[in-house]
Structure 1
């Protein structure tokens, strides 16, 4: 009986050692993957910073003004005038196809929109 207990203990220790080795291997694999992803994220953030700097450089007001002046005839740009603006009532709004009912219980109190 004593030998059986010793044998079961030895088998359990070997099983636990095998399990611990597998967990260690998976943990190291996950840490390596995490480091690779963090490096990729850092590279992408650096690239995004470069793109933002290029965008800011290309959108400088003096540069855009110079480009607008160079291409004035081709673009047919005109300065804004107050006569170019309209009132909100002049905008044509689409009529909904279906009746608009906000509260299905109180349908008699609200008029339905007709198409």
Structure 2
């Protein structure tokens, strides 16, 4: 009987060692993927900060004003003046909700119609 217990104990130790071995390598793989993902996130943040800087550079008021003056004939853009702005209480909102008088048939995209 003792021999049977020893055999089961040895098999349990081998099984647990095999499980720990697999878990160790799975953990190492997840840690490697996490490092790669963090590196990707860091490079994306750097790209995003560069794009934000470029956007701020391209949207400088003096540059936009110069572009509006250069392309005045084609675009007809005028500079903003304070008297062009209104107050919030001057905005007219509709008094009643939207009323749909006639329905519109909508079909799913990609489905063939019966003719």
Q: What is the TM-score of this pair, normalised by structure 1? A: 0.70
Which protein has the larger Cα radius of gyration, Structure 1 or Structure 2?
1
Give matches, 1:33-112, under 5 Å: 33-79=33-79, 80=81, 82=83, 84-85=84-85, 91-97=91-97
Aligned to 1:20: 20
* Deviation sequence 1:58-96 (CA, Å, 0-9, x none): 1122211211111122222334363x4556565432123
- Tell me the secondary structure at the aligned position of residue 77 of structure 1: coil
Q: CA deviation at 1:17?
A: 0.3
Q: Say how many residue pairs are matched.
A: 97
Aligned to 1:104: none
Q: In structure 2, do the counterparts of structure 1 residues 50 and 17 end up closer, same or farther at CA, with 3 Å as the change threshold? A: same
Q: What is the TM-score of this pair, normalised by structure 2? A: 0.70
Distance 1:87 1:15 in 2: 76
Q: In structure 2, do the counterparts of structure 1 residues 76 and 42 end up closer, same or farther at CA, with 3 Å as the change threshold? A: same
Structure with the bigger RCO (C-alpha within 8 Å, sep 6+) is 1
Distance 2:94 2:88 in 1: 14
Q: Give the superposed CA RMSD.
A: 2.3
Aligned to 1:108: none
